[in-house]
Structure 1
């Protein structure tokens, strides 16, 4: 498991929220409060910027959501220093779901994973967005992800194409000293063809070109893509749960 400093944790959390471009973000006594009414959980939950934050500002965070007609939601790491905070959230009646693994890797190892045969776009094109709306994906969620990821600041968009068709996509964002990989999607009929490896390598090379030497991503605990990410040099930094 990768050990990160408090400054690294804060910068990674800031980069995570920036990448999904919520329409409003507040800072409240050690919390980064993302406010949105869409489908991306990271864009509509509050996260501690430290792994030793107490519950003193919890009511203020809840009020920020309720004042905007939004349900309060939290994204809390499974860290020893956050156990009292988690206990208070549980006491207030929240329930946890969607355990997610935060992983980090050196850009060099990600770039070496495969031959990066994919296009790197400054802006997503229509074909890139259609992958999110393809068979097997929720169309409402897909449309919202396209909207938010297209608005991510300082982002590049990867597209793997076959026979003139875009069949796998992803995003790499830059900020706060990190490159972040998001929105990895492969068309159902092309899964297992190594397309995700090509995109990861492309993003690793893009990070190196910008002299950004570390990359993060987040993946649900049950997602077998973790195996691919580990082959690319990613290691677990921490896990978190959403509380709603």
Structure 2
């Protein structure tokens, strides 16, 4: 598989792991709408053949900005220039990273922290995630229940309290890592590394020899953590947005 093909496939896997409430295909583009969720979950995945005009009509009908996720190897090489000419501004800078599951298993620090794994989201898991991320809790809670692929929800406990969480979704040989969150007062105790170790262990027995994740370039602490456990950048990506 070419690198560009892999980039597109991983972003499509991510869309299934973080499913928008509404979605439809325009050619091979995926148009999405995710009311109440993080803005990027409702972005268009403009992979292959599609229409800017149809994407704009879709978002206009719903009263939301037109937002396209631009993974350079996965989109038509002329698309970025076309969007800029139409007044789309560039936002965010994100790293799509990959690793061998075996490498994460070998490098992720386990320590003595207790990690619990669940197959389905629990309110305790969600409440820790939400306490770090904030926002309206109902839409992301519903989002988790739309996921159909095998999933694992990891929780790290210390002193009888859950201090860190993360989740993974297995999809055709890959496990995507999402929802990494550590309570501010518990950072620096190795909890995030313990979450990654537990998720890698789960991936290794769920037919996922490779892992991927997405992390903002402006989050240096997370970038360092993922680098230490074997992740490296496959491709950077960003967003083009045009307000109504």
Q: 1:68 to 1:80 in 2, by over 3 A?
A: closer
RMSD: 2.2
Equivalence map 1:68-217=2 (5 Å): 68-79=62-73, 82-112=76-106, 113-115=108-110, 117-134=114-131, 137-140=133-136, 144-153=139-148, 154-217=150-213
Q: What does the per-residue CA deviation read over 1:95-149, in whole Å, with 9 as the maximum and x for residues that have no partner?
A: 1211110000001111221228411111222221111332x64333x55434323
Match of 2:56 among 62, 67, 77: 62
Q: 1:119 to 1:23 in 2, by over 3 A?
A: same
Q: 1:107 to 1:169 in 2, by over 3 A?
A: same
With the length of structure 1 as denominator, give the TM-score of the two structures.
Answer: 0.88
Distance 2:229 2:129 in 1: 24
Number of equivalences: 236
* Structure 1: gaps (5+ residues): none
Of 32-41 and 180-189, more deviation after overlay is shown by 32-41
With the length of structure 2 as denominator, give the TM-score of the two structures.
Answer: 0.88
Distance 1:207 1:80 in 2: 25
Contact 2:156 2:163 in 1 (8 A): yes
* Structure 2: gaps (5+ residues): none
Q: 1:126 to 1:114 in 2, by over 3 A?
A: same
- Secondary structure of 2:219 counterpart: coil
Distance 1:57 1:74 in 2: 12
Contact 1:149 1:171 in 2 (8 A): no
